[in-house]
């Protein structure tokens, strides 16, 4: 009797073990499928944001065009967002608030190295897609202010750009090589649109605008006022470039804003950066979509953008996905 009970108990235990094993196997297999699904979701996001700048600058219209191109080319729903531009965009990527952003090359370098406005707060999760076009530093005023030189800005109400923008750093550095500090001007922290409104209303005298030319906000100003672009003369440009090598000499061409002659100034480069944790395939697709569909971008600045120049002056690491695209095209930095 005891033997029979023991055998019955053993059979029941064996059946229970097989049942539990089957359940465990099912859970393990289900867990593997879930992990795979999550991995696919992580590698290919359903939505992406491109951080741009103010509506009166160049980033915003270009960002809108790029967002449509990326959506069409990757099937990832991509939108452009207006922001305070370069420095704010770098912080937003660090805070995982977006995936792609416009910025200046100098600001991207400051962010990755933890310098200037990023001191003690380095952004370690960004990599480059590539550079786009020169971002011209335009010191904008009107004929009626009488301002003709950088030195004339002393004591005047001058907008140096939105808080957190790359324009503010450019303004401070340009003033510096002219022997002027922010204490020597009545500093205003305004977006491009706010700056233009301020000049039109007589509330400010001049504004720094770092953007591709022609810049929409300044074009609007030229419709009602005689615009003056204050020059950065060659000797001061040389001094600036010697101290801050990411600058290059540039000019605002004759005819822009109805100017009668070209005005010498300096520029940095606009660039696109991405979060470094985006997959190689996603960034490859984004890079290819943008550079192979520039004919769909109606903004005048698109004529200056090309894959062949995209690795020039990048200044930070290029994302492997973007690098794969450039390698396929045989493109290297000049």
- Residue located via tokens 């420095």: 87
Does residue 158 contact residue 205 with C-beta atoms inside 8 Å? Answer: yes
The structure tokens listed for 138 are 């335009």
Instruction: Find the Cα–Cα–Cα–Cα dihedral 304, 310, 314, 320, rounded to 10°.
Output: 150
**Quick one: angle between helices 59-74 and 280-291, nearest 10?**
120
Q: Closest Cα to residue 82, out of 65, 61, 110, 99?
A: 61
Q: What is the fold, at CATH topology level, of the domain defined by 135-268?
A: D-Maltodextrin-Binding Protein; domain 2 (3.40.190)
pTM: 0.73
Q: What is the fold, at CATH topology level, of the domain defined by 46-132+271-329?
A: D-Maltodextrin-Binding Protein; domain 2 (3.40.190)
Sequence-ordered list of residues with C-beta below 8 angstroms from that of 46, at least 6 positions apart, any chain: 76, 77
**Tens digit of each residue's pLDDT (9 = 90 or more) over 70-84:** 999 999 999 999 998
Domain residue ranges in the chain: 46-132+271-329, 135-268
46-132+271-329 and 135-268: same fold? yes
Beta bridge partners of 228: 141
- Per-residue pLDDT tens listing for the chain (334 residues): 544 544 444 545 545 454 444 444 433 333 333 333 333 345 789 999 999 998 888 899 999 999 999 999 999 999 999 998 899 999 999 999 999 999 999 999 999 999 988 999 999 999 999 999 999 999 999 999 999 999 999 999 999 998 767 889 899 999 999 999 999 999 999 988 899 999 999 999 999 999 888 888 899 999 999 999 999 999 999 999 888 878 888 999 999 999 999 999 999 999 999 999 999 999 999 999 999 999 999 998 899 999 999 998 898 999 999 999 999 999 998 7
Sequence-ordered list of residues with C-beta below 8 angstroms from that of 276, at least 6 positions apart, any chain: 125, 126, 127, 317, 319
pLDDT at 63: 97
Q: Is the dihedral of CA 47, 314, 326, 291 positive or negative?
A: positive
**Tens digit of each residue's pLDDT (9 = 90 or more) over 153-184:** 999 999 999 876 788 989 999 999 999 999 99
Interatomic CA distance for residues 303 and 134, integer angstroms: 12
Interatomic CA distance for residues 244 and 173, integer angstroms: 9
Interatomic CA distance for residues 85 and 164, integer angstroms: 7
């Amino acid at each position: 009797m005891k033997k029979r009970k023991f055998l019955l108990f053993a059979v029941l235990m064996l059946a229970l073990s097989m049942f539990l094993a089957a359940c465990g196997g099912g859970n393990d297999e289900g867990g593997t499928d879930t992990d795979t699904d999550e991995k696919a979701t992580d590698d290919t996001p359903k939505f992406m944001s491109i951080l741009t700048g103010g509506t009166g600058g160049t980033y915003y219209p270009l960002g809108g065009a790029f967002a449509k191109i990326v959506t069409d080319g990757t099937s990832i729903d991509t939108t452009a967002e207006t922001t305070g531009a370069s420095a704010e965009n770098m912080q937003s990527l660090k805070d995982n608030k977006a995936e792609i952003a416009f910025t200046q090359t100098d600001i991207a370098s400051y962010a990755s190295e933890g310098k200037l406005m990023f001191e003690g707060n380095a952004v370690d999760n960004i990599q480059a897609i590539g550079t786009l076009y020169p971002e011209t530093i335009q010191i904008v005023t009107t004929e009626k202010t009488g301002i003709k030189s950088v030195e004339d800005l002393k004591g005047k109400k001058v907008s140096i750009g939105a808080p957190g923008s790359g324009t503010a750093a450019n303004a401070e550095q340009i003033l510096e090589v002219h022997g002027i500090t922010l204490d020597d001007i009545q500093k205003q922290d305004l977006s491009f649109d706010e700056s233009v409104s301020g000049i039109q209303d007589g509330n400010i005298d001049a504004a720094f605008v770092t953007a591709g030319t022609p810049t929409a906000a300044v074009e609007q100003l030229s419709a009602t006022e005689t615009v003056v672009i204050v020059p950065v003369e060659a000797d001061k440009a040389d001094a600036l470039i010697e101290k801050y090598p990411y600058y290059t000499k540039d000019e605002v061409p004759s005819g822009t804003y109805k100017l009668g002659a070209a005005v010498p100034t300096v520029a940095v480069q606009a660039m696109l950066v991405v979060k470094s944790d985006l997959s190689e395939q996603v960034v490859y697709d984004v890079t290819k979509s943008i550079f192979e569909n520039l004919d769909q971008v109606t903004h005048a600045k698109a004529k200056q953008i090309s894959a062949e120049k995209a690795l020039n002056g990048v200044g930070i690491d290029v994302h492997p996905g973007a690098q794969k695209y450039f390698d396929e095209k045989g493109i290297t930095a000049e």
